[in-house]
Amino acid sequence: MPVSRSTPNFQIPTSNLPLPTPSANAPGIRLAGILRLLNLRDLAARLDCRLEGDGDIVVQRVAGIQEAEAGDVTFFANARYAAALKATRASAVILAEGAEAAPCAMLRTPNPYLAFARAVGLFA
């Protein structure tokens, strides 16, 4: 006789669970394989970028420059998006060494395309 298997329907309350933050002992924290939190200092080191701004800011995902919000890192490499760069709500932006300044922390690199691809891999 076949055994019936069912998954219980339950929810885990999260409203009062503390979120871990990166530290010197645990620079990258993985929560259930879904979310990765990194502070900008650690992210800059992993991406081989020069950080301009607060290295203690925590980011948790990558996003497009127009969709990015607080907690996101985004990317700028095309002058066509200069207005979007000035208006971004991202916590940080990956951009070229000579690019104009952003209104948030900046991760400067000679190759922003490669750095962004690496960032996508870190948060995937």
pLDDT, tens digit (0-9, with 9 covering 90-100), for 16-54: 444 444 444 444 444 334 457 999 999 999 999 999 999
5, 7, 111 from 2: Cα distances, Å: 9, 16, 57
Six-digit token pair at 33? 């394989």
- Report the predicted TM-score, pTM, of the whole model to 2 decimal places: 0.72
Place of tokens 């991760």: 107
- The residue type of 1 is M
Which sign does the torsion angle of CA 116, 117, 119, 124 carry?
Answer: positive
pLDDT, tens digit (0-9, with 9 covering 90-100), for 57-95: 999 999 999 999 999 999 999 999 999 999 999 999 999
Instruction: Provide the β-strand partners of residue 28.
Output: 38
| Cα maximum dimension of the chain | 70
Six-digit token pair at 52? 């301009």
